[in-house]
Amino acid sequence: DTGVSQNPRHKITKRGQNVTFRCDPISEHNRLYWYRQTLGQGPEFLTYFQNEAQLEKSRLLSDRFSAERPKGSFSTLEIQRTEQGDSAMYLCASSPVGASNQPQHFGDGTRLSIL
Amino acid sequence: QKEVEQNSGPLSVPEGAIASLNCTYSDRGSQSFFWYRQYSGKSPELIMFIYSNGDKEDGRFTAQLNKASQYVSLLIRDSQPSDSATYLCAVRDDKIIFGKGTRLHILP
């Protein structure tokens, strides 16, 4: 079990630039989740996939955000035209097949800083 | 809107004492409950999950669930300085809904 892997660990960029993050879930997990966490808050749900299908998106996910999981394995989260309010930790998690009651396993996160 | 409520703390507990962390949730139909520990700058780490009313013990940790009162708690016995962290209560829907977390500080 190699765990959930996220890259990069840190990203610093100027406002208005586009950024893309990658998440590699635990290999046998078919569900993959994206969360965003700001200082002093719990993680907030953004979106999740079952295999390659995106099943739910939060209203937090504006049209500047897009997520993909093209082959049902790794996923990418892209933010276009970044704003200072996008500065946060972006967390990816995965869980096993048929896992409505199973806990999610988190990656180490990508910390985004917008200058 | 499903919600999970926690006291943000900080909760200060002497080393060796019992730390008690509490959480309430809004959706009476919720079935799965989790406690995550998060150190500063790190991602959440699962420490306990509970599905049934009553107590569940794992080492120094005990999770308690009361579905009638929509209340979940976490007890940490023999608190250690390394237990100082933010503890996140979470409820599983298809995604996980987190509380804001309670900061716990164990006093040496």
Note the pLDDT tens digit of each residue in A71-94: 889 999 999 999 999 999 999 999
Nearest CA in chain B to A32: B95
More confident residue, A6 or B2: A6
**% of chain B exceeding 70 in pLDDT:** 100
Q: CA dihedral defined by B25, B30, B34, B38, rounded to 10 degrees? A: -50
Report CB contact under 8 Å: A100, B99.
no
Grade residue A96 by pLDDT with cuts at 50, 70 and 90.
confident
**Across the interface, do B92 and A33 touch by the CB < 8 Å criterion?**
no
Peptide bond into B10 cis (omega under 30): yes
The pLDDT assigned to B92 comes to 85
A93 vs B contacts (CB less than 8 Å): 96
Report the residue count for chain A: 115
Q: Whole-number mean pLDDT of chain A?
A: 92
- A106–B43 C-beta distance less than 8 A: yes
Give the pLDDT score at A24. Answer: 97
Residue B55 pLDDT: 96
Residue B11 has pLDDT above 70, yes or no: yes
pLDDT at A113: 97
Check if the beta carbon of residue A78 is closer than 8 Å to that of residue A86. no
pLDDT at residue B10 greater than cutoff 80? yes
Tell me if A89 sits within 8 A of A36, measured CB to CB. Answer: yes
Return the residue in B33, B43, B48, B92 with the most chain A beta carbons within 10 A, the one to mutate for interface testing. Answer: B43
Diameter over CA atoms, chain B: 41
